[in-house]
Amino acid sequence: MESRLERALLGRLDAEALVQRFGTPLWVYDELTATDRARAVAEMAAELELDVRYALKANPCPELLELFNGQGFGVDAVSIGEVEAARSAGLPAERISFTGNNVSADEMRRVHEAGVEITVDSRSQLATFGRVAPGSTVAIRINPRVEAGHHPHVITGGPDSKFGIDPADLSEVLDLARRHDLTIHGLHQHLGSGILDHELFLKVMDLLLEQAPRFPDLQFIDFGGGFGIPYRPDEFPFDLAAFSKAAKLRLKAFRKDYRRPVAWRVQPGRLLVAECGLFLVRVTSVERGRRHT
């Protein structure tokens, strides 16, 4: 059954002509939809003074990356390959952030030597980075202790998640940083993927802001991504306007108390790209079984 979006896209696109020209299987991306989503995020970013880093793992299509770059978005990468893809698309190193998981010392070294800032998500990764680049700046990912996501496989917070450092371990993190002469200049969290309830984002925003005063040298706080889209008829889109209104009050209060400039970041991925593409295939045969066709 076609979704509303699929019907809208197919109403503008000649699917048969595209298949005749390019063959199948074929991914088709709609620039109008992608631009519309990017502008909505850009409006929220302007209201909250956010630095948007597109989560490249959502879709590495070069043309989409070029479009988002045109909106002023940076990139968050999870591998050296994604870093190189972003650089090939024309993004300078300072517009790329790297948030990996279980990253090897060699990959950390390559990312660091490329001039890309690194966020580590465990104590062991912090120690590895300290050996690779002592005396450097680094960001850490904190586990918000909140579980959320549209499927168990995409829940990246909570006590059972391997992602992020538990707040109870932050004293050890500070000791590790001092041991390797590292300056923790950024905090990050990522709640999960496919989240539609903006109140959950506000909750983890509060949790991250509560931990921030323990770090006197912060230059940025990255609230991560996970902004979802509705897949079912009874679901509603993520309310960017309501989120923006409530978040603005929190951020203003924090800046007043912290008393030094701090940049805000988010890392949207699915929200930007999930509704702008179609996958066209051709049916070559139909097999009828006892229970399914």
Residue at 75 is within a domain: yes
Residue at 189 is within a domain: yes
User: Structurally, how many domains does the chain consist of?
Assistant: 1
Where do we find the tokens 């300078």? Answer: 92
pTM score, whole prediction: 0.87
Q: What is the pLDDT of residues 264-286, one digit of tens each?
A: 999 999 999 999 888 899 889 99
Residue numbers of the domain that contains 137:
50-272
Residue at 83 is within a domain: yes
Output the domain CATH number for residue 215: 3.20.20.10
* pLDDT over 90 at 194, yes or no: no
Question: In the prediction, which pLDDT does 201 show?
Answer: 87
Residue at 31 is within a domain: no
Mean per-residue pLDDT for 146-172?
Answer: 60
* pLDDT over 70 at 136, yes or no: yes
Q: What is the pLDDT of residues 223-278, one digit of tens each?
A: 998 898 888 888 888 899 999 999 999 999 998 888 789 999 999 999 999 998 88
Residue at 232 is within a domain: yes
Cα→Cα distances 264→142, 178, 247, 254, 256, Å: 16, 25, 11, 11, 14
In the chain, alpha helices (H) = 4-12, 15-22, 31-48, 62-70, 80-88, 105-113, 123-132, 170-179, 198-211, 240-258, 270-273
Mention every residue, 6+ apart, whose C-beta is less than 8 A from residue 108. Answer: 100, 118, 128, 129, 132, 133
Tell how far CA 234 is from the center of its chain. 25
Residue at 22 is within a domain: no
Residue at 36 is within a domain: no
Rounded Cα distance between 43 and 37, Å, is 10
Residue at 237 is within a domain: yes
